[in-house]
Amino acid sequence: MRGRVVIAVVAAVVLAGVAVGFARLSGDARSAATLSAAPPASPSARSPLWSGVLARSTADGAEYGRLVIAGPRGREVLPLSCVRAYAAGGTGICLREQADAPGSYETVLFDRSLRQTWSSPFAGVPSRARVSASGRMVAWTVFVQGDSYAAAGAFSTRAGILDTRTGDVAGTLETFAVTLDGRPYEATDVNFWGVTFAADDNRFYATMSTRGREYLVEGDFAARRVRTLREGVECPSLSPDGTRLAYKKPRPDGTWRPAVLDLATMAETPLAETRGIDDQPAWLDDRTVMYGVARDTRHADVWAVPADGGGRPSLLVPDAESPAPLG
Amino acid sequence: MYLSTARLAPVARTDGPVRRLLSGNVLALGLVSLVTDVSAEMVTAILPAYLVLGLHLTTVQYGMIDGLHAGMTALFRLGGGYAADRWRLRKAVAGFGYGLSALAKLGLLAAGPSVAGIGGALAADRVGKGLRTPPRDALITMSVPEPMLGRAFGVHRTMDGVGAFLGPLAALGVLALAGSGQAFPAVFVASFCAAALGVLLLVLFVRDRREPAVRVEPRAWSPPWRLLATAEFRRVWLAAVLLGLVTIGDGFVYLLLQRREDLSIMWFPLLAVGTNLAYLLLATPLGWLADRIGRGTTVAAGCAALLGVYVLLATGGGSIPLILLLYGAFYAATDGVLMACTGPVVPERWRTSGMAVVQTGQALAYLVSSLAFGAAWQVWGPAAACWAAAAGAALALPLCGRWLR
């Protein structure tokens, strides 16, 4: 018996040493990428660069995970690390890891000088972020585990919206009244993700899933209502002129292709991108859609493609994902 | 946490050498479960982040992976139970299951971004869980005299619960050590280390009962479900199925709580923590109580607690801590106790199979009930669905009490 106890104790110590040692080592390799989420010191010089494309860098090294601005003057690396980000109208949103609590995430809003203006922690894993063109409305989507109304261990999404002017927050769109195919609908398995805002800062579009189907919904933030428009549209993104939605079109094999929906005619135009993408598209301008394409699990590039279905995809920002146009 | 993966446990009595209460074997099995649950819950805690952030996996892909092996666990449970009985290899089968789950952690590490690889590793993990649970519970029943089974299972479930409680904390600790929320490989390695320790503890300290060479009916191939031919066993099995049928699923309970209190999603994970805390604190005293006042009575009391939960959810009464306490009490009064009821009604020769049959019946019933509750919610609305669940619990209360005398 004593011999076995000794073996067990020794083994426990060795295994604990392996676990701790491995964590330490993997920590050293990564610390460079996760440090500094602090606001910058010199805000004034930033403004001229507030144009081009804001994206999250996937370039290896100290730049990994930082926000970058790719513009006429080249690529500038910002001191802000985010998992997902977006910016418009002078408001930026950054979903990032909390500095003092690895594995926990928070939503941070920042202004043109990258000063933090609002923050709120959330339980879940960041997925999407969006800001209305005016910069007033912001939305985020996170994955959460524990709803398990479906398969054990499956996880679901929560999408939240904040009105930065009034401070009005909808923590999850699941509390909104749903109209599905014209009829009131209530179900436990409703999930929302991928919000995009209209110019009036009240209407929005998003994806809603229930019973294994994904719908495009049009929402009214003030009235706390959404209604379904059609199926097969995920992560919509409204064009600057407000007439079309770019989105991921789900395909039977589980991948997505980008497409554009004309809201007046409900006509769908597949874009000239044949690779599978998993990103909420963004509009570079009224004629061009951009989106991240993963090269592997750690690296991605931002590509652009004409919104009319013609042309060919072109590389817009190498080593980046999660793009946002900056005026 | 335990969300939904119905935790089923079996029971037995001893007719062999009587050991002292809470024999070393029970503590050893409890310790193995504790360490293994730390390992499992570490991975569970970071899996969503790993799949979404680390691998850019989509929910659809994850759903496909997950759906693949829901049914497999049940199959392996029965198969493993049969093998353990047939060849008297309870410890070996349990050890194989624990070992497989441990290797699955390395599999996650090795799979890298491969969706098929991750699916395979997660499947191996579930197969391991299916294989090890019935023989583990059979070993518990063989470690203490029959009148103390409730206590034995209570202690085991408490230790199990402590492990589940510590797992997510351990994961956070590893992430903090690494200084990054995305140090997933470090968590997998730590999880493997814990699981490997669990296997080692099993090998070193858990003893299988060496029965005298059995006069085996040489070709009497007896499928596990043949057990259902005896009325005693059938009653226990029916009680387990009934319990499965009236359990609507943790996800629904937490969702209802979250909706009615408009709980910030920050607090959402704490609901499971609260239930687990109540469960692990109450499992031992309620197991002890079951030995004193009767197992059927204790399970019936558990049904009463569940009834309370449903009524409070339907009416909007009660506070969240009260509801979580009742819900944890329900699990504590039924999970281990039900297994303590199973042992004595199965011939020792087929004890592992008996446990597996009871557990599988409960798990399948549970699957049906969550689907039914989801449908009821959709058609009648949440309050009416809760009243229906309450009616089910009210019906189960006297029936379980009678069947499990």
B61: confidence class by pLDDT, cuts 50, 70, 90: low
Q: For residue A34, what are its two tokens?
A: 């996760």
End-to-end C-alpha distance for chain B, whole angstroms: 31
Residue A27 to residue B178, Cβ atoms within 8 A? yes
B399 phi and psi, to 5 degrees?
Answer: -65, -50
**What CATH number does the domain containing B311 carry?**
1.20.1250.20
* pLDDT-derived band at A267, boundaries 50, 70, 90: very high
Note the pLDDT of residue A35: 35
- Would you state the pLDDT for residue B3? 32
Q: Does A9 touch chain B (CB under 8 A)?
A: no
Percent of chain B residues topping a pLDDT of 70? 83
Largest CA distance in chain A: 80
The answer to whether residues B352 and B138 touch, using CB atoms and an 8 Å cutoff, is yes
Residue A121 near chain B (CB below 8 Å): yes
Distance CA B95, CA B205 (A): 12
| pTM for the model | 0.76
Flag whether B67 is in a domain: yes
> B340 in a domain, yes or no?
yes
Handedness of CA A103, A104, A105, A108 (dihedral sign): negative
Burial state string for B20-59 with b = 16 or more CB within 10 A and e = fewer than 16? ebbbebbbbbbbbbbbbbbbbbbbbbbbbbbbbbbbbbbb
Of B62, B189, B264, the CB nearest to A19: B189
Full strand arrangement of the beta sheet holding A203-210: A183-185, A177-180, A225-231, A213-220, A203-210, A191-197
Query: Which amino acid appears at position B361 of this protein?
Result: G
Q: Do B255 and A26 touch (CB under 8 A)?
A: no
Instruction: Give helix then strand counts, H and E, for chain A.
Output: 1, 26
Of the candidate ranges A69-73, A108-112, B80-84, B193-197, the one whose mean pLDDT is the lowest = A69-73
Confidence (pLDDT) at A71: 82
* Consecutive H or E run containing B159: helix B149-178
Least Cα distance to B369 among B342, B337, B343, B396 occurs for B396
Of A22, A33, A278, the CB nearest to B189: A22
Please report residues of A whose CB lies closer than 8 A to that of B56.
278, 294, 297
Query: Could you tell me which chain A residue has the CA closest to the CA of B264?
Result: A171
Find the residue in A nearest to B50 (Cα): A125
pLDDT at position B162:
95
Binned at pLDDT 50, 70 and 90, residue B214 comes out as low
A297 and B113 in contact by Cβ < 8 A? Answer: yes
Chain A CB contacts of B377 below 8 Å:
186-188
Q: Which residues of B touch A15 (CB under 8 A)?
A: 193-194, 196-197
The reply to whether B10 falls in a domain is no
> Across the interface, which of A101, A127, A149 has its CB nearest the CB of B52?
A127
The token duo for B294 is: 């009767």
Q: Do A149 and B370 touch (CB under 8 A)?
A: yes
B205 falls within a domain: yes
* pLDDT-based confidence at residue B63 (cuts at 50, 70, 90): low
| Count of the separate structural domains present in chain A | 1
The per-residue pLDDT for B69 is 55
- Asked if the Cβ–Cβ distance from B3 to A171 is below 8 Å, we say no
The answer to whether the beta carbons of residues B309 and B326 sit under 8 Å apart is yes
A297 touches chain B (CB under 8 A): yes
Domain contains B62: yes
Q: Which domain holds residue A69?
A: 29-326
| Contact between A19 and B193 using a beta-carbon 8 Å cutoff | yes
CB pairs under 8 A between A and B: 189
**Which residue from A198, A204, A268 is spatially nearest to A232, judged by alpha carbons?**
A268
C-alpha to C-alpha distance for A206 and A233, rounded to whole angstroms: 9
pLDDT value, residue A305: 95
Mutation target to probe the A interface, by most A beta carbons within 10 A, among B36, B53, B114, B366 is: B53
Instruction: List all residues 6 or more positions away from B256 whose beta carbon is below 8 Å from its beta carbon.
Output: B313, B382, B386
| Residue B151 to residue B276: CA distance in whole angstroms | 18
Give A5-64 pLDDT, tens digit per residue: 999 999 999 999 999 999 888 765 444 333 334 444 444 444 444 578 999 999 988 888
- In A, residues 153-172, which contact B (CB 8 Å cutoff)? 153-158, 171-172
CA trace torsion B75, B80, B85, B90 (10° rounding): -150
Tell me the C-alpha distance between B17 and A22, whole Å: 45
**Residues of chain A contacting B172 with CB distance shorter than 8 Å:** 101-103
Q: Classify residue B5: in a domain, yes or no.
A: no
Q: What is the pLDDT of residue B235?
A: 94
Q: What is the pLDDT of residue B70?
A: 56
Please check whether residue A204 lies inside any domain of the structure: yes
Is A189 in CB contact (< 8 Å) with chain B?
yes
Of B58, B254, B265, the CB nearest to A171: B265
Residue from the list A15, A27, A149 with its beta carbon closest to the beta carbon of B180:
A27
Q: Which residue of A has its CA nearest to B367?
A: A151
Residues of B in contact with A144 (CB under 8 A): 48, 265, 268
Placement of tokens 């999880």 in the chain: B191
Rounded to an integer, what distance in angstroms lies between the CA atom of residue A145 and that of residue A304? 33
* Cα–Cα nearest to A307, from A319, A326, A325: A325
Phi, psi of A43 (to 5 degrees): -70, -35
pLDDT of B221:
55
Selecting from A127, A158, A254 the residue whose C-beta is nearest the C-beta of B265 gives A158
Say which of A104, A143, A147 has its CB closest to residue B251. Answer: A147
Contact A153 B5 (CB under 8 A): yes
Which chain B residues touch A186 with a CB distance below 8 Å?
A: 377-378, 381
DSSP B54: I
By C-alpha distance, the chain B residue nearest A31 is B179
- A252 and B CB contact within 8 Å: no
The DSSP code sequence of A213-261 is EEEEEEEETTTTEEEEEEES-EEEEE-TTSSEEEEEEE-TTS-EEEEEE
B100: confidence class by pLDDT, cuts 50, 70, 90: very high
Q: In chain A, what percentage of residues exceed pLDDT 70?
A: 89
Residue A315 sits at the chain B interface (C-beta within 8 Å): no
DSSP H/E element including B44: helix B24-49
Query: Which residues in B lie closer than 8 A to residue A127 (C-beta atoms)?
Result: 52
CATH label of the domain that carries residue A187: 2.120.10.30
Classify residue A100: in a domain, yes or no.
yes
Residues of A in contact with B181 (CB under 8 A): 97, 102-105
Angle at B181 between CA B176 and CA B183, to 5 degrees: 85
Q: Is the Cβ pair B66, A154 closer than 8 Å?
A: yes
Among partner residues A125, A146, A188, which is closest to B377 by beta-carbon distance? A188
Q: What percent of chain A lies above the pLDDT cut of 90?
A: 53
Domain enclosing residue B107, as ranges: 18-209+224-403
Cβ-contact A181, A226 below 8 angstroms = no
pLDDT at residue A304 is higher than 80:
yes
Chain B CB contacts of A155 under 8 Å are: 48, 59, 62
Cα–Cα distance, A135 to B332 (Å, whole number): 51
State yes or no: pLDDT of B399 exceeds 90. Answer: yes
Question: For A164-204, what is each residue's pLDDT tens digit?
Answer: 999 998 888 888 999 999 999 987 778 899 999 999 999 99
Tell me what pLDDT residue B217 has.
53
**What pLDDT, on a 0 to 100 scale, did the predictor assign at position A245?**
96
* A251: pLDDT strictly greater than 90: no
Q: Mean pLDDT throughout B271-296? A: 93
Q: How confident is the model at residue A301 (pLDDT cuts 50, 70, 90)?
A: very high
In sequence order, which residues have a C-beta less than 8 Å from that of residue A3 and are 6 or more positions away?
A: none
State mean pLDDT over B120-129.
Answer: 88
Distance from CA of A187 to the nearest CA of B (A): 5
Question: Can you tell me the distance from the alpha carbon of B275 to that of B257, in angstroms, rounded to the nearest whole number?
Answer: 13
Of residues B344 and B405, more confidence is placed in B344
Tell me how crowded residue B359 is: count the other CB atoms within 10 A of its CB: 29
- The average pLDDT across A255-270 equals 92
Contacts of A124 (CB under 8 A, 6+ apart): A105, A142, A143, A144, A145, A158, B48, B265
A98 Cα to chain B: minimum distance (Å): 9
Token code pair at residue B140: 């518990």
Q: What is the pLDDT of residue B56?
A: 61
Report for A115-119, A213-217, A239-243, B2-6: range of highest mean pLDDT:
A239-243
Domain assignment present for residue A59? The answer is: yes
Does residue B367 register a pLDDT over 50?
yes
In the block, which residue shows the tokens 């935790």?
B7
Asked whether residue B302 is assigned to any structural domain, the reply reads: yes
The chain-wide mean pLDDT, for chain A, equals 85
pLDDT averaged over chain B?
84
Interface ipTM: 0.78
Asked if A26's CB is within 8 angstroms of B183's CB, the reply is: yes
- Give the number of residues written for chain B: 405
Number of domains in chain B: 1
Per-residue pLDDT of A145-168, as tens digits, reads 654 443 444 557 788 999 999 999
Q: Are A78 and A67 in contact (CB under 8 A)?
A: yes
